[in-house]
Protein backbone atom coordinates (compact mmCIF):
# COMPACT_ATOMS: atom_id res chain seq x y z
CA UNK A 1 0.00 0.00 0.00
CA UNK A 2 0.95 3.64 -0.39
CA UNK A 3 1.58 5.66 2.79
CA UNK A 4 2.97 9.10 3.67
CA UNK A 5 5.36 8.88 6.61
CA UNK A 6 7.76 10.97 8.63
CA UNK A 7 10.88 9.05 9.64
CA UNK A 8 12.50 11.51 12.03
CA UNK A 9 11.62 14.67 13.95
CA UNK A 10 11.65 17.56 11.47
CA UNK A 11 11.95 15.12 8.55
CA UNK A 12 10.40 15.57 5.10
CA UNK A 13 7.31 13.78 3.83
CA UNK A 14 8.15 10.35 2.36
CA UNK A 15 5.73 8.50 0.09
CA UNK A 16 6.51 4.83 0.68
CA UNK A 17 5.21 1.38 -0.24
CA UNK A 18 4.36 -0.72 2.79
CA UNK A 19 2.87 -4.14 3.47
CA UNK A 20 -0.88 -3.89 4.00
CA UNK A 21 -1.23 -4.31 7.80
CA UNK A 22 -3.23 -7.19 9.32
CA UNK A 23 -5.67 -6.56 12.20
CA UNK A 24 -4.98 -8.39 15.46
CA UNK A 25 -7.49 -9.26 18.15
CA UNK A 26 -9.85 -6.36 18.87
CA UNK A 27 -8.73 -4.45 15.78
CA UNK A 28 -10.13 -3.74 12.33
CA UNK A 29 -8.48 -2.71 9.09
CA UNK A 30 -10.00 0.30 7.33
CA UNK A 31 -9.57 1.15 3.67
CA UNK A 32 -9.02 4.90 3.90
CA UNK A 33 -11.05 7.18 1.61
CA UNK A 34 -10.16 10.55 3.13
CA UNK A 35 -8.04 11.93 5.96
CA UNK A 36 -8.10 15.50 7.21
CA UNK A 37 -4.87 17.33 7.99
CA UNK A 38 -5.04 18.75 11.51
CA UNK A 39 -2.66 21.33 12.95
CA UNK A 40 -1.79 18.72 15.61
CA UNK A 41 -0.06 16.69 12.89
CA UNK A 42 2.78 19.18 13.43
CA UNK A 43 3.52 17.12 16.57
CA UNK A 44 4.52 14.18 14.37
CA UNK A 45 6.23 16.22 11.66
CA UNK A 46 8.37 18.21 14.11
CA UNK A 47 8.73 15.61 16.88
CA UNK A 48 7.01 17.61 19.59
CA UNK A 49 5.26 14.62 21.20
CA UNK A 50 7.32 12.96 23.95
CA UNK A 51 8.32 9.38 23.18
CA UNK A 52 6.98 9.34 19.63
CA UNK A 53 8.37 6.37 17.66
CA UNK A 54 9.43 6.82 14.01
CA UNK A 55 8.74 6.19 11.24
CA UNK A 56 5.18 7.32 11.82
CA UNK A 57 2.20 7.80 9.49
CA UNK A 58 0.16 10.73 10.92
CA UNK A 59 -3.54 11.39 10.48
CA UNK A 60 -6.42 11.32 12.98
CA UNK A 61 -9.29 12.62 10.85
CA UNK A 62 -9.90 9.35 9.04
CA UNK A 63 -12.94 8.26 7.01
CA UNK A 64 -13.18 4.98 5.14
CA UNK A 65 -14.69 1.53 5.07
CA UNK A 66 -13.93 -1.56 7.17
CA UNK A 67 -12.07 -4.05 5.04
CA UNK A 68 -10.96 -6.77 7.49
CA UNK A 69 -11.96 -7.61 11.06
CA UNK A 70 -9.74 -9.20 13.75
CA UNK A 71 -10.86 -11.76 16.34
CA UNK A 72 -13.18 -10.77 19.16
CA UNK A 73 -14.56 -7.66 17.49
CA UNK A 74 -18.23 -7.24 18.29
CA UNK A 75 -20.65 -5.06 16.34
CA UNK A 76 -18.49 -4.11 13.36
CA UNK A 77 -18.24 -5.87 10.02
CA UNK A 78 -16.53 -5.51 6.65
CA UNK A 79 -18.06 -2.90 4.36
CA UNK A 80 -19.25 -0.61 7.16
CA UNK A 81 -18.42 3.10 6.71
CA UNK A 82 -16.41 4.34 9.69
CA UNK A 83 -14.46 7.30 11.00
CA UNK A 84 -11.51 7.34 13.40
CA UNK A 85 -10.43 10.44 15.33
CA UNK A 86 -7.81 11.54 17.87
CA UNK A 87 -9.00 9.12 20.58
CA UNK A 88 -7.29 5.86 19.62
CA UNK A 89 -7.90 3.74 22.70
CA UNK A 90 -8.18 3.46 26.45
CA UNK A 91 -7.25 0.85 29.03
CA UNK A 92 -10.58 0.14 30.82
CA UNK A 93 -8.75 -0.36 34.14
CA UNK A 94 -7.39 3.02 35.31
CA UNK A 95 -9.40 5.14 37.75
CA UNK A 96 -10.83 7.35 34.97
CA UNK A 97 -11.83 4.37 32.83
CA UNK A 98 -13.48 2.71 35.84
CA UNK A 99 -15.59 5.90 36.12
CA UNK A 100 -16.41 5.66 32.42
CA UNK A 101 -14.44 8.79 31.52
CA UNK A 102 -12.47 7.14 28.73
CA UNK A 103 -11.21 10.39 27.16
CA UNK A 104 -9.29 11.05 30.41
CA UNK A 105 -7.72 7.55 30.53
CA UNK A 106 -4.16 7.82 31.86
CA UNK A 107 -3.07 5.19 29.33
CA UNK A 108 -5.02 6.62 26.39
CA UNK A 109 -3.68 6.17 22.88
CA UNK A 110 -3.74 8.75 20.11
CA UNK A 111 -4.36 7.81 16.48
CA UNK A 112 -1.48 8.75 14.18
CA UNK A 113 0.82 9.30 17.19
CA UNK A 114 0.86 6.07 19.23
CA UNK A 115 0.10 4.02 16.12
CA UNK A 116 0.02 4.76 12.38
CA UNK A 117 -2.81 6.98 11.18
CA UNK A 118 -4.70 7.79 8.03
CA UNK A 119 -2.19 9.29 5.59
CA UNK A 120 -2.23 5.87 3.92
CA UNK A 121 -4.40 3.56 1.84
CA UNK A 122 -5.11 1.30 4.84
CA UNK A 123 -5.00 1.73 8.60
CA UNK A 124 -5.40 -0.77 11.44
CA UNK A 125 -7.18 0.60 14.51
CA UNK A 126 -8.77 -0.71 17.72
CA UNK A 127 -12.49 -1.35 17.19
CA UNK A 128 -13.22 0.88 20.20
CA UNK A 129 -11.94 3.86 18.18
CA UNK A 130 -14.61 3.47 15.47
CA UNK A 131 -17.51 5.83 14.78
CA UNK A 132 -20.24 4.94 12.31
CA UNK A 133 -20.63 7.43 9.42
CA UNK A 134 -24.22 8.29 8.40
CA UNK A 135 -25.01 7.60 4.71
CA UNK A 136 -25.54 11.28 3.90
CA UNK A 137 -22.06 12.36 5.06
CA UNK A 138 -19.39 11.97 2.33
CA UNK A 139 -15.94 10.71 3.40
CA UNK A 140 -14.18 14.03 2.71
CA UNK A 141 -16.61 15.78 5.10
CA UNK A 142 -16.56 12.99 7.68
CA UNK A 143 -12.76 13.34 8.04
CA UNK A 144 -12.73 16.88 9.48
CA UNK A 145 -15.65 16.05 11.77
CA UNK A 146 -13.47 13.44 13.52
CA UNK A 147 -11.20 16.02 15.22
CA UNK A 148 -12.10 19.64 14.37
CA UNK A 149 -15.84 19.00 14.37
CA UNK A 150 -15.88 16.71 17.39
CA UNK A 151 -13.76 19.09 19.46
CA UNK A 152 -16.00 22.13 19.05
CA UNK A 153 -19.26 20.14 19.07
CA UNK A 154 -18.28 18.35 22.28
CA UNK A 155 -16.91 21.52 23.90
CA UNK A 156 -20.14 23.42 23.20
CA UNK A 157 -22.57 20.67 24.19
CA UNK A 158 -20.76 20.19 27.51
CA UNK A 159 -20.28 23.92 28.17
CA UNK A 160 -23.36 24.40 30.32
CA UNK A 161 -24.90 26.89 27.85
CA UNK A 162 -28.65 26.44 27.35
CA UNK A 163 -30.96 27.31 24.48
CA UNK A 164 -31.15 31.09 24.05
CA UNK A 165 -27.88 31.82 25.87
CA UNK A 166 -25.33 34.09 24.20
CA UNK A 167 -22.44 32.03 22.81
CA UNK A 168 -19.57 33.76 21.05
CA UNK A 169 -17.16 32.03 18.70
CA UNK A 170 -13.83 33.79 18.43
CA UNK A 171 -11.95 33.11 15.18
CA UNK A 172 -13.56 31.99 11.91
CA UNK A 173 -11.11 29.30 10.80
CA UNK A 174 -10.88 25.52 10.83
CA UNK A 175 -12.52 25.15 14.24
CA UNK A 176 -14.48 28.40 14.31
CA UNK A 177 -16.42 27.93 11.07
CA UNK A 178 -17.76 24.70 12.52
CA UNK A 179 -18.25 26.25 15.96
CA UNK A 180 -20.55 28.93 14.52
CA UNK A 181 -22.65 26.29 12.75
CA UNK A 182 -22.97 24.13 15.87
CA UNK A 183 -23.70 27.08 18.18
CA UNK A 184 -26.55 28.28 15.94
CA UNK A 185 -28.03 24.83 15.51
CA UNK A 186 -27.82 24.07 19.25
CA UNK A 187 -30.14 27.02 19.78
CA UNK A 188 -27.72 29.63 21.11
CA UNK A 189 -27.71 33.34 20.30
CA UNK A 190 -24.60 33.06 18.18
CA UNK A 191 -22.01 35.81 17.87
CA UNK A 192 -19.01 35.41 15.57
CA UNK A 193 -15.87 37.44 16.29
CA UNK A 194 -13.02 37.84 13.81
CA UNK A 195 -10.51 40.44 12.71
CA UNK A 196 -11.59 42.54 9.70
CA UNK A 197 -14.81 42.20 7.75
CA UNK A 198 -13.81 39.77 4.98
CA UNK A 199 -15.50 36.88 6.82
CA UNK A 200 -18.58 38.82 7.90
CA UNK A 201 -20.91 37.56 5.16
CA UNK A 202 -19.60 34.04 5.59
CA UNK A 203 -20.21 34.18 9.35
CA UNK A 204 -23.84 35.08 8.71
CA UNK A 205 -24.16 32.31 6.12
CA UNK A 206 -22.80 29.84 8.67
CA UNK A 207 -25.54 30.93 11.06
CA UNK A 208 -24.17 33.78 13.20
CA UNK A 209 -26.86 36.18 14.43
CA UNK A 210 -24.26 38.91 14.88
CA UNK A 211 -20.74 39.55 13.65
CA UNK A 212 -18.14 41.58 15.55
CA UNK A 213 -15.08 42.92 13.72
CA UNK A 214 -12.42 42.90 16.44
CA UNK A 215 -10.31 45.51 14.61
CA UNK A 216 -13.11 48.07 14.44
CA UNK A 217 -15.21 47.37 17.53
CA UNK A 218 -14.65 47.03 21.27
CA UNK A 219 -15.48 43.32 21.53
CA UNK A 220 -15.98 43.34 25.30
CA UNK A 221 -18.35 46.32 25.17
CA UNK A 222 -20.29 44.72 22.32
CA UNK A 223 -20.70 41.44 24.23
CA UNK A 224 -21.72 43.29 27.39
CA UNK A 225 -24.53 45.02 25.44
CA UNK A 226 -26.09 41.52 25.34
CA UNK A 227 -25.38 40.92 29.04
CA UNK A 228 -22.11 39.13 28.31
CA UNK A 229 -21.53 35.72 26.77
CA UNK A 230 -22.36 32.55 28.68
CA UNK A 231 -19.66 30.84 26.64
CA UNK A 232 -16.86 32.21 24.51
CA UNK A 233 -15.32 29.49 22.36
CA UNK A 234 -11.84 30.83 21.61
CA UNK A 235 -10.57 29.12 18.45
CA UNK A 236 -7.97 31.63 17.20
CA UNK A 237 -4.67 30.57 18.81
CA UNK A 238 -3.66 34.10 19.82
CA UNK A 239 -2.95 34.37 23.56
CA UNK A 240 -3.30 38.14 23.73
CA UNK A 241 -6.61 38.20 21.88
CA UNK A 242 -8.01 35.31 23.94
CA UNK A 243 -6.94 36.90 27.22
CA UNK A 244 -8.80 40.09 26.35
CA UNK A 245 -12.09 38.22 25.94
CA UNK A 246 -12.52 37.32 29.59
CA UNK A 247 -14.28 40.61 30.40
CA UNK A 248 -16.87 39.80 27.74
CA UNK A 249 -18.27 36.92 29.81
CA UNK A 250 -21.61 36.95 31.59
CA UNK A 251 -21.69 36.07 35.30
CA UNK A 252 -20.86 32.39 35.60
CA UNK A 253 -19.62 32.36 32.01
CA UNK A 254 -16.78 30.29 30.67
CA UNK A 255 -13.99 31.08 28.24
CA UNK A 256 -13.47 27.74 26.52
CA UNK A 257 -10.14 27.17 24.77
CA UNK A 258 -9.99 23.96 22.70
CA UNK A 259 -6.78 24.77 20.76
CA UNK A 260 -3.61 25.86 22.54
CA UNK A 261 -1.91 29.14 21.68
CA UNK A 262 1.88 28.91 21.98
CA UNK A 263 2.08 31.77 24.52
CA UNK A 264 0.52 31.70 28.01
CA UNK A 265 -2.71 33.61 28.64
CA UNK A 266 -2.56 36.73 30.82
CA UNK A 267 -5.85 37.02 32.65
CA UNK A 268 -6.92 39.16 35.57
CA UNK A 269 -8.19 36.77 38.23
CA UNK A 270 -10.06 39.73 39.72
CA UNK A 271 -12.45 39.74 36.75
CA UNK A 272 -12.93 35.96 37.13
CA UNK A 273 -13.78 36.39 40.82
CA UNK A 274 -16.18 39.30 40.35
CA UNK A 275 -18.20 37.33 37.79
CA UNK A 276 -17.58 33.86 39.18
CA UNK A 277 -16.44 33.12 35.64
CA UNK A 278 -13.80 30.66 34.49
CA UNK A 279 -11.33 29.71 31.82
CA UNK A 280 -11.27 26.09 30.73
CA UNK A 281 -9.64 23.82 28.19
CA UNK A 282 -11.44 21.14 26.24
CA UNK A 283 -10.04 17.76 25.26
CA UNK A 284 -11.45 15.93 22.23
CA UNK A 285 -13.83 13.06 23.04
CA UNK A 286 -14.41 9.37 22.53
CA UNK A 287 -15.50 7.48 19.41
CA UNK A 288 -19.13 7.71 20.52
CA UNK A 289 -18.75 11.49 20.82
CA UNK A 290 -17.40 11.47 17.25
CA UNK A 291 -20.40 9.47 16.10
CA UNK A 292 -22.72 11.94 17.87
CA UNK A 293 -20.90 14.74 16.01
CA UNK A 294 -21.44 13.02 12.66
CA UNK A 295 -25.11 12.31 13.40
CA UNK A 296 -25.86 15.84 14.66
CA UNK A 297 -24.09 17.28 11.61
CA UNK A 298 -26.15 15.13 9.24
CA UNK A 299 -29.36 15.92 11.11
CA UNK A 300 -28.86 19.67 11.23
CA UNK A 301 -26.99 20.28 7.98
CA UNK A 302 -23.55 21.20 9.30
CA UNK A 303 -20.74 21.02 6.74
CA UNK A 304 -17.01 21.62 6.93
CA UNK A 305 -15.55 23.82 4.19
CA UNK A 306 -12.66 21.85 2.73
CA UNK A 307 -9.80 21.90 0.21
CA UNK A 308 -8.95 18.48 -1.22
CA UNK A 309 -5.53 17.13 -2.20
CA UNK A 310 -4.59 13.62 -3.35
CA UNK A 311 -2.33 11.63 -0.98
CA UNK A 312 0.58 12.04 -3.44
CA UNK A 313 0.51 15.81 -2.79
CA UNK A 314 0.81 15.46 0.98
CA UNK A 315 3.71 17.93 1.21
CA UNK A 316 1.76 20.67 -0.61
CA UNK A 317 -1.37 19.88 1.38
CA UNK A 318 0.50 20.10 4.69
CA UNK A 319 2.08 23.43 3.72
CA UNK A 320 -1.35 24.72 2.76
CA UNK A 321 -2.67 23.79 6.22
CA UNK A 322 0.35 25.44 7.92
CA UNK A 323 -0.11 28.64 5.89
CA UNK A 324 -3.40 29.30 7.67
CA UNK A 325 -4.88 30.33 4.31
CA UNK A 326 -6.94 27.21 3.61
CA UNK A 327 -10.71 27.65 3.73
CA UNK A 328 -10.89 25.93 6.09
CA UNK A 329 -9.79 22.31 6.47
CA UNK A 330 -7.34 20.51 4.19
CA UNK A 331 -8.32 16.92 3.38
CA UNK A 332 -6.26 14.20 1.71
CA UNK A 333 -8.30 12.02 -0.61
CA UNK A 334 -7.03 8.46 -0.77
CA UNK A 335 -7.50 5.79 -3.41
CA UNK A 336 -10.21 7.72 -5.25
ZN1 LIG B 1 -6.71 17.09 15.39
ZN1 LIG C 1 -7.76 3.96 31.39
pLDDT of the residue at 49: 93
pLDDT in tens, 122-174: 999 999 999 999 999 999 999 999 999 999 999 999 999 999 999 999 999 99
pLDDT at position 259 is: 86
Q: Tens digits of per-residue pLDDT, 244-293?
A: 999 999 999 999 999 888 899 999 899 999 999 999 999 999 999 999 99
Q: How far is the CA of 103 from the centre of ligand 2 (A)?
A: 8
Do residues 195 and 324 touch, judged by C-beta distance below 8 A?
Answer: no
Q: For residues 71 and 240, give the distance between their C-alpha atoms in angstroms, rounded to a whole number.
A: 51
Q: List pLDDT tens digits, range 90-109.
A: 999 999 999 999 999 999 99
Whole-number Å distance, alpha carbon 94 to ligand 2 midpoint, is: 4
Place 218 in a pLDDT band, splitting at 50, 70 and 90.
very high
pTM confidence score: 0.96
Q: Which of these, 122, 123, 81, 128, lies nearest to 107 by C-alpha position?
A: 128
- Note the pLDDT of residue 262: 87
Whole-number Å distance, alpha carbon 26 to ligand 2 midpoint, is 16
Q: How far is the CA of 209 from the centre of ligand 1 (A)?
A: 28
| DSSP 8-state class, residue 149 | I
What CA–CA distance (Å, rounded) separates 242 from 317?
Answer: 28
Q: What percent of the chain is modeled with pLDDT above 90?
A: 97
CA of 36 to the centre of ligand 1 (A): 8
Ligand 1 centroid from CA 42, angstroms:
10
Residues 62-89: pLDDT tens digits? 999 999 999 999 999 999 999 999 999 9
- 246 Cα to the center of ligand 1, angstroms: 25
Ligand lying nearest the CA atom of residue 36 = 1
pLDDT value of residue 336: 59
Cis amide leading into 55 (omega within 30)? yes
Alpha helices (H) along the chain: 42-46, 95-98, 139-144, 150-157, 176-185, 200-206, 219-225, 239-243, 269-275, 287-300, 314-323
Contact in structure between 169 and 235 (CB atoms under 8 Å): yes
Q: Which ligand is nearest to the CA of 108?
A: 2
* Mean pLDDT over each residue of the chain, to the nearest integer: 97
Q: Is the pLDDT of residue 199 over 90?
A: yes
Amino acid sequence: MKAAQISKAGGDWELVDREIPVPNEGQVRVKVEACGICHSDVLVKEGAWPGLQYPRVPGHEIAGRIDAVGDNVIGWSAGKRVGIGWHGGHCFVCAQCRRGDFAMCVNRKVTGIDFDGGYAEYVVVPALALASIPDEVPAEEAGPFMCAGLTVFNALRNSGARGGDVVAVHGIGGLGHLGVQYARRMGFETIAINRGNDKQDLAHELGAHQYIDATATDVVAELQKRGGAKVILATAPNAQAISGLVDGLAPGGVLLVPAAPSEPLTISVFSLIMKRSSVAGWYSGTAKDSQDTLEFSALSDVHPMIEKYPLDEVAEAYERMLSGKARFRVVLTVGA
